[in-house]
Amino acid sequence: MKLYRTNVGCFVEDNGHSYPVPLTSLDKLFNLDDLHGYLMSIVEKSDGTDLVVSEVDLSSAQILPPIENQEVWAAGVTYYRSRSARMEESKSAGGGDFYDRVYSAERPELFFKATASRVAGPGSSVRIRADSKWNVPEPELTLLANNRGQIIGYTVGNDMSSRDIEGENPLYLPQAKVYDRSCALGPCVLVTPQPLPTTTPIRLEIVRGGVVAFAAETTLAELKRAPETLVEYLFRDNSFPFGTFLMTGTGIIPPDSFTLKVADSIRITIDPIGTLENDVMQGR
Ligand code: DO4
Ligand code: MG
């Protein structure tokens, strides 16, 4: 079942029907003992008339990113494609070896990605930095963990990245990754106690002037690390009172000749969750 945060409150969507969620604080919802059970009880209690909010109502609402006081963290080099592209881009900076090592190391690469104020919601803009000439989106399955380190849901994430800044020196990673609107999340949180199947596809499409400029697809079978292991590392001596999002890394990187341009439209689809769509902006 899907949990949406909107300008008129939170909704749970199940089987094409949307129901208002009385508890509207995501900070509280994400730490419930059983969020899935709570949302189920809302759906089951509805008699199909008075509580049902028609799809028209939900579609006229503004869908906001599903985040309040959570942090966003990210895992890196969890797909072979990311390892290889990063080895290439950082070769002249002497960083080529690091990426191969972290790909096969026991400890994953985990980095801080965003606070809620830096996160773009569905239908709004992500940013490319004014001091960068080579920018790409990174389409990533994003885990939602509660304050106990349990994975309670999934959303679609875009880990916007400045490849020239990261490639110049791996120590510039925070500047390549963390800036205003460098992250997008949404359109909802798929709340499920079941892990997503490894056959789950992740699709990226970049549209420029009405034409597809780049499209590619991967599946979770290519993700080298188990989501539970990534969360377990993140929670080592680290607490998240409101829960946290954890992006699981990208398996899709456009060819080196490709860079995002202002007004491009980025569509990331992970079927059981939905499509996250953002256009690209630069400057204020
Ligand atoms: O190592 C740098 C970042 C890697 C990353 O963001 C990814 O693999 O998705
Ligand atoms: Mg990434």
DSSP string, 4-65: EEETTEEEEEETTEEEE-S---HHHHTTSTTHHHHHHHHHHH--SSSSPBPHHHHHHSPEE-
* C-alpha of residue 83 to centroid of ligand 1, in Å: 8
At residue 51, the pLDDT reads: 47
Q: Which ligand is nearest to the CA of 78?
A: 1
Q: How far is the CA of 26 from the centre of ligand 2 (A)?
A: 25
Q: Which atom, in ligand 1's list, is nearest to the CA of 173?
A: 2
Considering the chain, what is the average pLDDT of its residues?
94
Ligand 1: does its nearest atom lie under 6 Å from the Cβ of 223?
Answer: no
* CA 178 centroid distance within chain: 14
pLDDT of residue 260: 98
Q: How far is the CA of 68 from the centre of ligand 1 (A)?
A: 24
Each residue of 25-40: pLDDT tens digit?
999 999 999 999 999 9
CA of 82 to the centre of ligand 1 (A): 7
Pair 126, 160: CB distance under 8 Å: yes
Residue matched to tokens 């773009």: 120
Span from the CA of 34 to the centroid of ligand 1 (angstroms): 32
Residue 242 structure tokens: 């409101």
Measured in angstroms, how far is the CA atom of residue 11 from the centroid of ligand 2? 29
User: CA-CA distances (angstroms) from residue 231 to 113, 238, 260, 266?
Assistant: 15, 11, 31, 27
The per-residue pLDDT for 49 is 53
How far apart are alpha carbons 83 and 66 in whole angstroms?
29
What residue's CA is closest to ligand 1, atom 4?
Answer: 76
77 C-beta closer than 6 A to ligand 1: yes
pLDDT at 91: 83
pTM: 0.96
Q: Return the ligand 1 atom nearest residue 250 CA.
A: 9
pLDDT of 155:
98
Strands (E), 100-163: 109-114, 119-120, 125-127, 135-136, 139-145, 151-159, 161-162
Pocket of ligand 1 contains residue 248 by CB under 6 Å: no
Ligand nearest to C-alpha 158:
2
Ranges of the chain with pLDDT below 50: 50-56
Residue 5 CB–ligand 1 contact under 6 Å: no
Q: Which of 78, 86, 112, 253 to mutate to test the pocket of ligand 1 (most atoms within 8 A of CB)?
A: 86
Counting ligands in written order, the one closest to the CA of 223 is 1
Ligand 1 atom 7: the closest Cα is on which residue?
Answer: 76
Check residue 54 and give its pLDDT: 47
Atom 3 in ligand 1: which residue has the minimum CA distance? Answer: 76
% pLDDT > 90, the chain: 85
pLDDT of residue 20: 93
